[in-house]
Amino acid sequence: MTHPDPRPRSRAGAATASDAGGVQATFVATLVDEWARAGVTDAVVCPGSRSTPLALALAADDRLRLHIRVDERSAGFFALGVARRSGRVPLVLTTSGTAAAELHPAVAEADLAGVAMLVCTADRPPELQEVAAPQTMRQAGLYGSAVRWAADLGVPEPGQGVFWRSLAARAIAEAAYGPSGPGPVHLNLAFRDPLVAEPGPLPSARADGPWHRVVRGVRAPAPEAVRELAARAGTRGIIVAGGGAGDPEAVHALAAALGWPVLADPRSAARTPRRTTVAAADAILRVPAMRDRLHPRTVLHLGERWASRTLTEWLAQPGIEHLVVDPDWRWRDPQRRADTVVCADPTELCHAVARAVPHTVPSAWCDAWAAAESAAQAAMDELLDGYAELTEPAVARHLWSALLPHTSLVVGSSMPIRHLEWFGAPRHRPPSVLSNRGVNGIDGVVSTALGVAAASPDPVVALVGDLTFLHDAGALLGAGAAGLSCTFVVVDNNGGGIFSFLPPARELPAATFEALFGTPQSADIPAIAAAYGAVVRTAEDRRGFDAALAELVGKQGVSVIHVRTDRETNVTVHERVHAAVATALEESG
């Protein structure tokens, strides 16, 4: 794209500063109008000068909800939360310079998690590039391969109305419907002074929607894949279901037809009480006899992987055929075990195979898994209920069972997602579980939960560790005043609890381990939360935890339930749970 000549012109062709500002104002108003036509409803805006033209256009359009966040890193994850809950493409806007760089962690998460997001960064005009102008750096290609599509735009020129509308429509289409699935798109927008001006008449638009309407159908499975999978009915197979596994009813219909159990991650929404559901796979497969007894011949992978290393290592054994369903060609096979990659919509595949199986066959194989699941869940209940104090597994297990079905549960990485995965029992109408498992980091989880709350009329609860909370506590600034409603359950073990389960905890001197991995903090989490305006409650036992949940969840404002635990005790509890499950499985035969 050619850029306007910044040099003075002759009077015959004069262009005043106000004319230039008017063109910019018309440009951004056109973008915003087109985005609203394409279904954008939420814009997350960070204060800044160079981004003024687009910020004003967003604020002027009453079809959009505006969310003001003072920290760009937090804003990116906030937008991620909005997208996860709403299923629509949100927009996040920053000014130029390092403000744009602060979005990179959220962009990386959106990329690997497959979350659609439109990232708009303001930039200085061409004449201010590469001359040490303040707040200026190279922003073209800033996010590298982490975006589905990117455009670096020069300063807008008159007469480009069709281009502006086409650009805006394509940006949303690339984010929502691209061939690699949903993900982030980056528009780098250069603006000149004056930054405040009135827009002129907008260029013509389609009467019935965005400039480009994208029609994308679901990817139907190939008949060959359907026949091959249906032929395995009644054999020793399992379905491993994670986030993005498809319609849970379809998953269980397929499981019933094939006679296979479903190892259901909480994010799959398939962890419901059925004969085919297995929730305690991590504990069951820690028992050597069960690892051998339940060795499958075929594994069908639907959606994201479990966090469990025990399950991952068990599935890596030789002699197992792996079928990976990969609708967006993201090649989700970190162990490189896939024998067949099925490029199809998981729900469509489940329905097609279930229809292709002539009749449901009785399955002693599935019964063996169901018996192990029943024994493991009973052992967990008995052992965890025996503790007077709150343990980390019990917090996750009870929170999962106590929340109302329409609740959104945002779960931090590290130990919280593992505790929920390992100890959450099957339940009717489970809450929706959201977690930033693209990059698997602890960054931005508080912001993500608040973004989910901004897009949700229903209760939102976040289960996080102390380091995750402290890493992003600044996101609470102004959250209550903005009308957000979210309850954070903060499990505080004074450091990085997950490292207590890893080799450094056993192999290093205690002082070295604590300094480099345990990283105990002196921060007073209740005081920090209260300083940001959150309502704070401390829970020391099951009764106090239940009372805090009843008081705070779903109520207006931001609240924190603080649960103090101990890292060494947590390791011991895990060991006792696994021993109890092993005993129960041995006794059940």
Confidence of residue 132 (pLDDT cuts 50, 70, 90): low
| 3-state SS class at 445 | helix
Top-confidence residue, 561 or 130: 561
pLDDT at residue 361, rounded to an integer: 67
Helix pair 346-356, 248-258: axis angle to 10 deg: 30
> What is the domain count for the chain?
3
Whether residues 57 and 134 share a domain: the answer is: yes
Whether residues 470 and 532 share a domain: the answer is: yes
Whether residues 179 and 137 share a domain: the answer is: yes
User: Residue 135: is its pLDDT beyond 80?
Assistant: no
Give the pLDDT mean for 183-202.
92
User: Residue 366: is its pLDDT beyond 70?
Assistant: yes
CB contact set of 208 (below 8 Å; sequence gap of 6+)? none
Whether residues 438 and 523 share a domain: the answer is: yes
pLDDT tens profile 291-322: 999 999 999 999 999 999 999 999 999 999 99
* Inside any domain, residue 27: yes
Share of the chain above pLDDT 90, in %: 75
Q: Are the CB atoms for 441 and 76 separated by under 8 Å?
A: no
Give the pLDDT mean for 490-499.
85
pLDDT at residue 15, rounded to an integer: 35
pLDDT tens profile 343-364: 999 999 999 999 999 877 667 9
* Inside any domain, residue 213: no
Which of the listed residues 368, 400, 430 is the one where a domain comes to its end?
368
pLDDT tens profile 13-35: 333 445 878 889 999 999 999 99
pLDDT tens profile 214-243: 887 788 999 999 999 999 999 999 999 999
Residue given tokens 């297995």 in the structure block: 278
pLDDT at residue 197, rounded to an integer: 87
Q: Are the CB atoms for 15 and 156 separated by under 8 Å?
A: no
pLDDT at residue 547, rounded to an integer: 97
User: Residue 518: is its pLDDT beyond 90?
Assistant: no
User: Residue 12: is its pLDDT beyond 70?
Assistant: no
pLDDT at residue 17, rounded to an integer: 43
10 Å Cβ neighbour count for 161? 16
Outline where DSSP puts E strands in 454-497. Answer: 460-465, 485-492
User: Residue 502: is its pLDDT beyond 80?
Assistant: no
* Inside any domain, residue 485: yes
Range of the domain at 90: 11-190
pLDDT at residue 228, rounded to an integer: 94
pLDDT at residue 315, rounded to an integer: 95
pLDDT tens profile 331-344: 888 888 899 999 99
Please give the structure tokens belonging to residue 441: 């980091």
Whether residues 445 and 410 share a domain: the answer is: yes
Rounded mean pLDDT of the chain?
91
pLDDT at residue 2, rounded to an integer: 32
Whether residues 415 and 355 share a domain: the answer is: no
User: Residue 452: is its pLDDT beyond 60?
Assistant: yes
Whether residues 175 and 293 share a domain: the answer is: no
Spatial separation of the C-alpha atoms in residues 586 and 161, rounded to whole Å: 72
Whether residues 344 and 493 share a domain: the answer is: no
CATH code of the domain covering residue 439: 3.40.50.970
pLDDT at residue 209, rounded to an integer: 86
Half-sphere exposure of 54 (CA within 13 A, CB side): 31
